[in-house]
Structure 1
Amino acid sequence: MKILLLGEYSNFHNTLKKGLEKLNYSVVLAGRKDGFKSLPVDVSFEPQLLAKTPLKYLRYLLIKLFKFDIAAFETSYYFFRNKHKLKGFDYVQLINEYPIKSTPYFDKILLKFIFKNNNKIYVSACGNDVIYLNYILNADLPHHILTPYIKNPKLKEHFKYSLAYLNTAHKKLHNFVLENAEAYIPGDMDYEMAYKNHPKAKPLIPFPINIDLLAYKPVKIKDKVKIFHGINRINYHKKGNDFFCSALNFIKEKYPNQVDIVEVENIPYKDYISLYNESHILLDQVYAYDQGYNALEAMAKGKVVFTGVSEEFLDHYKIKKRIAINTTPNLQEIIDNLSYLIENPKEIESISKNARDYIEEIHDYKKVAQQYIDCWNT
């Protein structure tokens, strides 16, 4: 059985590939490298000439003047140059409806080749997509990733990448993918809720985590509590980094001799991982109902993560122990939770162990890979 994973998002498809290979399947990962994270792929569509030469300045100028990224042409060129490597697969999974990240118009053309020259095509529901964004805008939710924009439309520029999925071009791409794909597979509770009644939705399959690669070390706090906050400037408001920054400013003053705080911004994935390895607490996001990739990988290492641990999530997996800190857009609540952990370091040690146990039970990349095989074969 040959499998093509098309597109990458926060190490999801890299980890799924390793899980499938552990089960002795042949897998190719093709796509771009998820921006500054620079994740590895087997077949790359990542722009080179327009990203790493002086031509990048022309690219930036044209983006500013015409709102069009000419790197889409280079991405499409790399796709067609490698198209012989992208056909004849039994199963293809798209990272989402916009997996190649050229433009919606170009992606539709490129995906026609994928649909025509491969067998069954599935779509992972994660990241931005038309169904998810329409759901959160119309559902009666206490909060979601667009909440800051809804409350303050002046923040529109910070949400332009998400809001773009509501335009006509993306809707046309969505309709094309929806018509031709076998099914959509939600990757966490945020998308399970959005796709719950959709006729082409499969049951949730959790994100795979490489528990063999991410070693767990029992937490023993002997001195200061170490807190890590990684900022992705593009998603600053979308993730709620502003709440974390404000909370940390308060914590620095309240516990000057009890905490070490590390904050970094827009660094490659490998550097990001190495920097948070020594931390006890990781601040992830405030608007989610489940955990994304950064949170899950940190939990695998035994970090206490501030992220989405909603009632819907707890009910779905029947979780009774505290595996992370449920975080909502409530500054005082974040400060109170941080303060409690700093004053009760034994609680950090307990949550750390629970987090690792949860990852091993639910997110083991080999178990998850088998769930995908079973889903694709159904």
Structure 2
Amino acid sequence: MKILLVGEYSRLHNSLKEGLTALGHDVIVVGTGDGFKQYGTDYSIAVKLFETYSLLRFVKRIVNKLTKFDLARTEKGYRFYRLLPLLKGYDHIQLINSDALETHPAFAQWLLKKLFEQNGTMSLLVCGDETPVIDYCLAEKFKYSILTPYLKDKSLKKQYAYSLKYTHKNHRELFNWLQRRAQSIITSDIDYVIPMQQTGYTAPLIPNPINTDTIKFIPLTITNKVVIFLGINRNSYVKKGIKYFEEALSIIQEKYPTNVEIIVTENIPYNEYIKLYDTAHIVLDQVFAYDQGYNALEAMAKGKVVFTGAEAEFTKHYNLTERVAVNALPDTDALVKELSYLIENPTEIITTAHRARAFIEKEHDYIKVAKKYLEVWGMN
């Protein structure tokens, strides 16, 4: 089968491609690479003109300042338009979300209509911000979510512009148009399946695919210091609750000055980022989550103890009786308590690391997950 995966924000589509390819399918990924993260794509629609040339960068800034019109999004749409003659004859298309083309909603709808007319069925993936998800978070149905900081402090609105755009009329219309056309809507974890199902959508959960062949388990040894890694993405700093980790690390550094080594990085491309925490025992991912995101899962596959979403809804869904990750709460004292326990009980780090890898192999293996996608698409 020929399959087209449109959009990439976390390497989900790349790993899914690897699983589908292993099963004998012909797969192409189209996307921007998501900025500094530089995820791989077969066909890129990343901005070039308005990033490469200083004059055009200046024009883009002036136009955006005066009119709020983003010429970079126009360029992404144009680059996708130029690719349309190459994107024909696919049996199935999957969009990473309703903003997969990262262009203006009306332009996206026009482009996607042309794409759909020359290909087979289409599915819509919900694995991050999306209209019903943001609506649900704004209604404060979760005890906490990525929107919790904004709900407590509306002055953060500018930092939540990306998430809040999904509630705007044009983005809402695009989502509604896509969900009507989609053969299926699929969610990737607990943070998305709950709001989708609670708002009336049939949206089965298929776990994120992790390539357990290329991401090797790294057996941990603790001889001297416990190494703690925090990778910061400034664009999601508030949404991921990074300030709680920073506050906790400050206390931990003072409490255990000779027992810990702390590594902090910022805005690192994916291929560098995934290697930087190889020496770490503990990886701090995010708070404000019920389930693990992609970075957390890859770290767990390597055998790291990850502080991330691991709420009761997650453990119930996977029938877990022992923890495979640390549920990171938006509470500095709680994080300090959990970190202190692990530092003082290093054998717990080792055992949790093994459980984490076993969990990934059981629930997130990329070939097993690819088969689940094919089943939902009706292509198995």
Asked whether 1:294 is paired with 2:306, we answer no
Does 2:57 match 1:48? Answer: no
Partner of 1:360: 361
Q: Is the 8 A contact 1:186 1:201 kept in 2?
A: no
- Please name the residue that 2:345 is paired with: 344
2:5 alignment partner in structure 1: 5
1:147 is aligned to 148
Deviation (angstroms), 1:367: 0.3
In 1, Cα distance between equivalents of 2:65 and 2:162: 15
* Aligned equivalent of 2:168: 167
Which residue is 1:33 aligned to? Answer: 33
TM-score, reference length from structure 2 = 0.97
Give the counterpart letter for 1:268 in structure 2.
P
Amino acid of the structure 2 residue aligned with 1:179: R
Matches of 1:346 and 1:328, distance apart in 2:
23
For residue 82 of structure 2, what is the aligned residue in structure 1?
Answer: 81
Note the 1:129-148 alignment, pairs <5 A.
129-148=130-149
Deviation of 1:199 after TM superposition, in Å, equals: 5.5
For 1:38 and 1:58, locate their aligned partners in 2 and report how far apart those are by CA, in whole Å: 25
Correspondence 1:97-116 to 2 at 5 A: 97-116=98-117
Alignment of 1:197-236 (within 5 A): 197=198, 200-236=201-237
Secondary structure in 2 matching 1:82: helix
Q: Where does residue 69 of structure 1 map in the other structure?
A: 70
Who is 2:183 aligned against? Answer: 182
* CA distance in 2: counterparts of 1:123 and 1:103, whole angstroms: 18
Tell me what 1:276 maps to: 277
Q: Which residue of 1 aligns with 2:121?
A: 120
> 3-state DSSP class of the match of 2:238?
helix
Relative to structure 1, the CA distance from residue 53 to residue 8 in structure 2 (aligned partners, 3 Å threshold; closer, same or farther) is same
**Contact 1:104-1:173 within 8 A present in 2 as well:** yes
Question: Where does residue 18 of structure 1 map in the other structure?
Answer: 18
Secondary structure (helix, strand or coil) at the match of 1:246 reads helix
CA contact (8 A) 1:182 1:200 kept: no
Distance apart, 1:168 and its partner CA: 0.9
- 1:213-254 Cα deviation digits (max 9, x unpaired): 111021111111111101111111100001111111111111
Shift of 1:153: 0.9
- Which whole-Å CA distance do the structure 2 matches of 1:289 and 1:197 have between them? 15
Range moving further from structure 2, 309-318 or 191-200: 191-200
Query: 1:139, CA displacement in angstroms?
Result: 4.7
* Greater mean deviation of Cα atoms: 34-43 or 130-139: 130-139
Q: Could you tell me whether the CA contact under 8 Å between 2:217 and 2:357 is conserved in 1?
A: yes
**Deviates most, 321-330 or 67-76:** 67-76
Q: Do 1:132 and 1:195's aligned partners in 2 also have CA atoms closer than 8 Å?
A: yes
The question of whether the paired residues in 2 share the 8 Å contact of 1:100 and 1:107 is answered with yes
Q: Is the 8 A contact 2:99 2:105 kept in 1?
A: yes
Where 2:261 maps in the other structure, the secondary structure is strand
DSSP-derived class of the 1:196 partner: helix
Can you list the C-alpha shifts for 1:254-292, whole angstroms capped at 9, x where unaligned? 111111111111111111112111111111110010000
How far apart are 1:347 and its partner, in Å? 0.6
Deviation at 1:197, TM superposition (A): 4.8
CA drift at 1:66: 2.4
Q: Deviations over 1:276-335 (max 9, x none)?
A: 111111111100100000000000000100001111111111011210100111111011
The residue identity in structure 1 corresponding to 2:299 is A
* Inter-partner Cα distance in structure 2 for 1:283 and 1:64: 36
The answer as to whether partners of 2:138 and 2:151 remain within 8 angstroms in 1 is no
Q: What's the CA shift string for 1:63-110, capped at 9, x where partnerless?
A: 233222101222122112111222211111100111010122221111
SS of corresponding position for 2:125? strand
| Amino acid of the structure 2 residue aligned with 1:276 | Y
Task: Give the root-mean-square deviation of aligned CA atoms.
Answer: 1.2
* Maintained 8 Å contact 1:93/1:121: yes
Q: Which runs of 5+ in 2 are unaligned?
A: none
1:158 aligns with 2:159: yes
**Offset at 1:152?**
0.9
Question: What letter corresponds to residue 35 of structure 1 in structure 2?
Answer: G
Q: Number of matched residues? A: 378
CA distance, structure 1, for counterparts of residue 361 and residue 267 of structure 2: 29
Displacement of 1:57 in angstroms is 2.7
User: 1: distance between equivalents of 2:242 and 2:69?
Assistant: 28
Q: Secondary structure at the match of 1:349?
A: helix
Comparing 66-75 with 273-282, greater Cα deviation is found at 66-75
Give the C-alpha shift of residue 356 in structure 1: 0.1
**C-alpha distance in 2 between matches for 1:103 and 1:76:** 8
The answer as to whether partners of 1:115 and 1:180 remain within 8 angstroms in 2 is: no
